[in-house]
């Protein structure tokens, strides 16, 4: 084989190999995981030493010197032999830290490193996602402001409805994203540390180490929690932290997925109408068979991955419901997959959506043509009111318009022609009193209500405050690799 083909001879998750950012891929990497385990063992040893256990500075220094020197091959051999991932890494760490070997993992259970590391990764995952979400909101806010006044057909049931503006529609997308920022922030801030709780959460092993001194056990928990960067730990746990925590985290990510799916579906629908398009690069190919195609592949990617993200929340829901008593291990394999994949998927769809929102293209002339095709029917109430003001009878006017509009509709639907309602109306002597008012009555800007004002107020009162904490992180531009 030419070159290094070994990696291509086995399955690779496309979440990492094709899409995910380096920072999110690193956050859930083995290297980050196992160096965090070693840091947690050091936090524990430092705190135990400070509280009076016979641990030396030399032992701690030795551990600190080997945080990043992980012999992964040795760890794999140990795990195959011991069938226990944590003990495999305890042995591997002890091998390069012989002086510290007796005190590594002292009093702890496997979930001390396993669960606490998961909580650190969840916290850091949110910290990666939130600025990216803010960037998407920032780009969409600029788009909404730019097109706040541009009238466009509204749609209900995907049928033409009363006019709105392009900017007002973008604010509907923004409102959901603003909710997602608040949801992610709340989930992140609600996270606590598992701390040092022992095998069934009773802290019995630590109480024994400190010879029945409850205050020292509580102080140990507090010290390790603080060293890990958390303000609080869960006061009660089983062997694990409650798996409802995973539900809370993945639920807000699934909700974000639903938001992105809705936005990108709207963009795909508008692309079909040729009103709005996602960025399309100079050499990009839309179809291998149809050279003219400009497929919305970025929006489609977002929808595809968003479905995966939404589906992932069923995993923690089921896992939490079947945790027996203080703990059962059937959560482990599932969580190794579902937790990282949720954050990796959320990361990818936000990066892709930012790329889309940075380059959205609007076609005002197409939008105007669609309005002209539908507005005559929508303007009938205005025409009736103008006729009444000119001395006409509402019921007579209504009947005249009903007949003319149905004739025009038949031309559109049965003959494939243009909407000629206004031509028919102008030719009918009955409407002579208002013919000179038709242009004013059909001005699209008179049909958008307070859409422009709503955009201005929404961006000021709802969007701007949400972006404020991320002002220094909004200048990141996304270039997609694929």
Known catalytic membership, residue 89? no
Paired tokens of 141: 């806010």
Known catalytic membership, residue 370? no
Question: What Cα–Cα distance (Å) separates residue 125 from each residue in 182, 202, 249, 365?
Answer: 15, 29, 10, 43
- Residue written as token pair 């932290």: 241
The answer to whether residues 203 and 196 touch, using CB atoms and an 8 Å cutoff, is yes
Other beta carbons within 10 angstroms of residue 324's beta carbon come to 9
Q: Long-range contacts: 317-324, Cβ < 8 Å, 24+? A: 317/247, 319/243, 319/246, 320/242, 320/243, 320/244, 320/246, 320/247, 323/238, 323/240, 323/243
Residues 17, 214, 287, 314: which is the catalytic one?
287
Other beta carbons within 10 angstroms of residue 358's beta carbon come to 19
Q: What are phi and psi of 161, to 5 degrees?
A: -135, -170
Q: Which residues are CB-neighbours of 12 under 8 A, at least 6 positions away?
A: none
Residues assigned a catalytic role: 157, 287
């Amino acid at each position: 084989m030419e070159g290094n083909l070994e990696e291509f001879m086995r399955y690779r998750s496309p979440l990492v190999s094709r899409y995910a950012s380096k920072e999110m891929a690193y956050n859930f990497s083995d290297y980050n995981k196992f160096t965090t385990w070693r840091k947690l063992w050091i936090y524990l040893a430092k705190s135990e030493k400070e509280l009076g256990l016979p641990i030396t500075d030399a032992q701690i220094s030795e551990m600190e010197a080997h945080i990043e020197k992980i012999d992964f091959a040795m760890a794999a051999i140990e795990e195959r032999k011991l069938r226990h991932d944590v003990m495999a890494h305890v042995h591997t760490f002890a091998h390069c830290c012989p002086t510290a070997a007796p005190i590594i993992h002292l009093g702890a259970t496997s979930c001390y490193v396993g669960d606490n590391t998961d909580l650190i990764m969840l916290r850091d995952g949110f910290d990666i996602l939130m600025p990216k979400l803010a960037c998407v909101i920032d780009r969409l806010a600029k788009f909404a402001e730019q097109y706040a006044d541009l009238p466009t057909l509204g749609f209900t049931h995907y049928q033409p409805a009363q006019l709105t503006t392009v900017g007002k529609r973008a604010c509907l997308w923004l409102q959901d994203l603003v909710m997602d920022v608040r949801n992610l922030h709340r989930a992140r801030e609600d996270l606590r540390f598992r701390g040092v709780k022992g095998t069934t959460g009773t802290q019995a092993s630590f109480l024994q180490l400190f010879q029945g001194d409850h205050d020292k056990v509580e102080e140990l928990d507090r010290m390790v929690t603080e060293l890990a960067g958390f303000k609080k730990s869960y006061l009660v746990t089983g062997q694990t932290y409650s798996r409802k925590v995973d539900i809370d985290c993945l639920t807000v990510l699934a909700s974000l997925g639903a938001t992105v799916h809705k936005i990108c579906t709207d963009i795909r629908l508008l692309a079909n109408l040729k009103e709005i398009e996602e960025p399309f690069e100079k050499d990009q190919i839309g179809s291998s068979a149809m050279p003219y195609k400009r497929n919305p592949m970025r929006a489609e990617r977002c929808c595809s991955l968003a479905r995966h993200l939404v589906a992932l929340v069923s995993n923690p829901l089921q896992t939490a419901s079947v945790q027996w008593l203080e703990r059962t291990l059937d959560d482990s394999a599932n969580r190794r997959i579902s937790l990282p994949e949720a954050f990796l998927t959320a990361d990818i769809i936000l990066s892709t959506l930012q790329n889309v929102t940075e380059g959205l293209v609007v076609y005002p002339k197409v939008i105007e043509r669609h309005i002209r095709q539908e507005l005559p029917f929508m303007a009938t109430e205005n025409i009736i009111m103008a006729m009444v003001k000119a001395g006409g009878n509402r019921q007579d006017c209504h009947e005249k318009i009903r007949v003319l509009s149905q004739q025009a509709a038949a031309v559109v639907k049965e003959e494939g022609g243009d909407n000629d309602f206004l031509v028919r109306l102008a030719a009918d002597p009955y409407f002579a009193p208002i013919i000179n008012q038709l242009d004013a009555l059909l001005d699209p800007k008179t049909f958008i209500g307070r859409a422009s004002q709503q955009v201005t107020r929404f961006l000021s009162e709802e969007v701007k405050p949400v972006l404020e904490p991320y002002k220094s992180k909004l200048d990141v531009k996304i270039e997609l690799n694929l």
